[in-house]
Structure 1
Amino acid sequence: MILASNKFMLFVVFFLIFAVRSYSQPRTVADKNFYWFSAIARTPAVQHLLSADPTLNDLCKTRQSLLRSHATDTCSWAPSLVTDFRFSATDSAEVAKALLALYHAHTALFDDLIDHQLRPSHCYQRFSAGNNETFLLNIWSQTIVGINYIIDQYGLGKRLRYPSIDSVTYDVNSRYYRAALKEMFAYLSEKTDSMSLFYQPSLFIALQLMDLNDRDEAARFEPLEAGENKAAFAAVQLTNWSKYKYATIVVPGEGPELTTVALDPMGRMRCNLAADRYRKGLAPFIIVSGGFVHPFQTPYAEAFEMKKYLLTQGIPESAIIIEPHARHTTTNLRNANRLMIRYGIPITMPSVVVSTKSQIDYIDLPQGRFDQRNLRELGYLPYKEKQRIGIHEVSYYPVMESLHMDPYDPLDP
């Protein structure tokens, strides 16, 4: 049996501890989008410094007051209610300056937070090359993007990166939504006394906006290791990898066109192709990837429906890993990589994407056009040594950057 290094296994153990802590609470959406806030919540000394800083405290009190005011004032339009909870360029610079001063004055404390919680989580993997000061400032810059994105999309109704599947559920100018926003502010006004940190008023607004739109996709099925992936996760630890050419077979989902259809016919084709290769011993695990995507606000998760279908085809549950959050071909690969890394599946082995011909053609687009989409949307390639090996297959090696949180995709960060 090929065993992972001790360092890697420590990472796996750390992540699973994080998963249990995170997913056992009703804050999974926040943990996935803003992990460093979760780390701060476990570090009282850092909380005390942030709440005592005059600049950060003033920002917190100003937004607390605004939140309370909107609970009873006559403002009823979305722009007048939520815009001031975004972080402006001025806000960003002031917070960055305050964080930098706190870091220099309490370096050991912040280094402990960064070195023992933030870096080991790999949630900010793309910032890992910088020193701790730069690492902290980069996290703050990314956080601003994430909070503003949620407020813009679910508060102001802006059509952002993927409007056909991820946009606001209601017309933000409708009577219903205006009334719902006022109720939201009244509801949150009762929680202002618990907001002692500069980011909490805006964070509470952002998360409540997502809840108002039933956008909890990032939390669904979690914790996977204790639920749908429990049998497969246990099997990973016992696998003799030397017996296989590929570590996993990755199957991207296909969203049906009809709300009455749980699994698209092309999704069944993809499952059948993967099952054939599993039976031939190509890899010990099939990762089915796809979330609640098409049609808009569908009740069906592609990965879950594919798993159900594979079980009817005689594939054992211990060989099926579901990844029920990806919303695009780019994140099918990225999220499959995340599970491989976190579960201890060796990424020094290649994996193979198996799908219908049209999707494999898309992944293998000439002139690197699929690569360009990944670079444009993710900022990196979630694979290396990608190679077309058949009409229905592309092989590749996963990369560690896949663990980095994406602030532009709050439903699957």
Structure 2
Amino acid sequence: MKKIYFLLLFWLTLSSFHYSQAQSAKANYELLKGKSFVQSKNYYLLTLFQNLPEVKNFLSNDAVLKNITKQKIEALNNATNQCQSKVSCIAESMQFSEAEIQEISKRLGELYTETNALGKMVSVHLIPSGTYILSQKLPAKEQLIKAWEQDAHGINFTIGVYVAGQKPNYPNIDSISFKVTHKSYPQLLGDLHKTLLEETKNDNLFFEPSLTAALLALEINEREQVADYEPMASTVNKLAFDRIKTINWKAFPYAVILVPGAGPEEPEVALSAEGMLRCRVAALRYFEGLAPFVVVSGGNVHPYKTKFNEAIEMKKFMVEKLKVPANAIIVEPHARHTTTNMRNTARLIFRYGMPFDKACITSTSKSQSMYIQELNLDKRCEKELNHVPYRKGKRLSETEAEFYPLIEALQINALEPLDP
């Protein structure tokens, strides 16, 4: 009996090990670009559907999904007459209904097996990518369905904000570029609708009409900054990325020094006074040898639709004025909030193959440092990201505190299309 018990225990342990291994994100996994970085960074599952030939053929030849595609295109065509110039009606015709989302979820579940095209995609791409990592404890089929539902709701959110004019999470910086109540807007929307019909008339994948609508909406709103400077490892971060493999990490107490951006409020100002001061303090820490790299983090955020990028301007200041070597600065040019300063830095550490278990530090103003370390940033992360992308370490000074990156940072946030 004891022998059987131990064999059973060994089998369960082995099964658990294989399951946990199968669920893990891989640092050497190369994310597919697809048609654009805007698409792949927001809707990675749909990018896989389009760009893996075996999966694309499998889905496009399914009779149930083909019928859904046909009905969607017909509904878009009918919207021309049914909606007239009603903005909300046209936007809804572009979105997925909840009934459609659930019907597709059901069909994907019916089609999935571990050994067919969908099963291979989940094991070879979806799970190793880490882009839906918050579902990693679910069975593989459920991870597929959750990823689909996330992408579908994300598309609906984008269309809701950038076609229908609904409020985003941060209206002051992320709102639609047009006044939906202006008499000229229905005409623009009509032209968008016509373009959508032209571009999707030959689509054979069930999600493509709505996906195209979301991408067109971001384009005409000039909200494609999520793709700026990509692929960063071969553009703005090439010097630093190439240097990573040469670093003796044991020689440094920390992996990186993170400097969160501080956007100015005046359109003509490239870098705020606060941003300059944060850079100066971080440069001191760098020259003290605390870490081999400084991460400057911040996107095109303040003021509304600014042309200046916080991270790019901080790097210029640190290189030109403070003489920090360019190959010691990693640019993170997409974050729009303190939450994503932390999350995006954790992502870069993982994707760039830096030690993921090594402590890092934030170097910033006293007030923001307190907010990150002692106050409510972790609660805000839970609310806005559905996870906390870092673990707190100890406080080092009024302006510096330790943090450790967490793997949950890889999760796409479907409700922030400007920095998902």
The reply to whether TM is greater than 0.5 is: yes
Q: Does 1:393 align with 2:408?
A: no
User: Which 5+ residue runs of structure 1 have no aligned equivalent?
Assistant: 1-6
- Residue 287 of structure 1 contacts residue 322 of structure 1 at CA under 8 Å; is this kept in 2? yes
Q: Does 1:330 align with 2:339?
A: yes
**Percent identity over the alignment?**
36
Describe how 1:364-383 pairs up with structure 2 within 5 A: 364-366=373-375, 369-383=376-390
Q: Which letter maps to 1:406?
A: N
1:325 and 1:59 map into 2 onto residues whose CA distance is 35
SS of the counterpart of 1:353? strand
Moved more, 189-198 or 321-330: 189-198
Q: Does 1:94 align with 2:103?
A: yes
Q: 2:120 aligns with which of 112, 125, 140?
A: 112
Which position in structure 1 is the counterpart of 2:419? Answer: 412
Q: Which letter maps to 2:157?
A: Y
Q: Which letter maps to 2:332?
A: E
- Residue 352 of structure 1 contacts residue 394 of structure 1 at CA under 8 Å; is this kept in 2? yes
Shift of 1:222: 0.8
Shift of 1:107: 4.5
Moved more, 382-391 or 111-120: 382-391
Q: Which letter maps to 2:346?
A: N
SS of the counterpart of 2:29? helix
Q: Does 1 or 2 have the higher relative contact order (CA < 8 Å, sep 6+)?
A: 1
1:45 and 1:348 map into 2 onto residues whose CA distance is 37
Question: Max radius of gyration: which structure?
Answer: 2
1:390 and 1:44 map into 2 onto residues whose CA distance is 53
Q: Deviations over 1:161-191 (max 9, x none)?
A: 1111111111122233222211112222222
Moved more, 210-219 or 377-386: 377-386
Q: Which letter maps to 2:139?
A: N
Which position in structure 1 is the counterpart of 2:40? Answer: 31
Which position in structure 2 is the counterpart of 1:83? Answer: 92
Which position in structure 1 is the counterpart of 2:299? Answer: 291
- Residue 162 of structure 2 contacts residue 217 of structure 2 at CA under 8 Å; is this kept in 1? yes
Q: Does 1:267 align with 2:275?
A: yes
Which position in structure 2 is the counterpart of 1:4? Answer: none
1:38 and 1:26 map into 2 onto residues whose CA distance is 8
Shift of 1:74: 7.1
1:374 and 1:220 map into 2 onto residues whose CA distance is 24
Q: Deviations over 1:187-228 (max 9, x none)?
A: 222222331111111111111111110110110111111111
- TM-score, normalized by length of structure 1? 0.92
- Residue 361 of structure 2 contacts residue 401 of structure 2 at CA under 8 Å; is this kept in 1? yes
Alignment CA distance shift 1:73-1:86 (3 Å): closer
CA RMSD of aligned residues (A): 1.8
- TM-score, normalized by length of structure 2? 0.90
Which position in structure 1 is the counterpart of 2:262? Answer: 254
Shift of 1:148: 1.1
SS of the counterpart of 1:96? helix
Q: Does 1:42 align with 2:51?
A: yes
Which position in structure 2 is the counterpart of 1:121? Answer: 129
- Runs ≥4 residues deviating over 4 A: 69-74
Which position in structure 2 is the counterpart of 1:158? Answer: 166
SS of the counterpart of 2:346? helix
SS of the counterpart of 2:396? strand
2:272 and 2:128 map into 1 onto residues whose CA distance is 39
Shift of 1:76: 1.9
Which position in structure 2 is the counterpart of 1:14? Answer: 29
Shift of 1:236: 0.5
- Residue 58 of structure 2 contacts residue 117 of structure 2 at CA under 8 Å; is this kept in 1? no
SS of the counterpart of 1:14? coil
Aligned residues: 396
Moved more, 289-298 or 45-54: 45-54
SS of the counterpart of 2:110? helix
1:99 and 1:13 map into 2 onto residues whose CA distance is 28
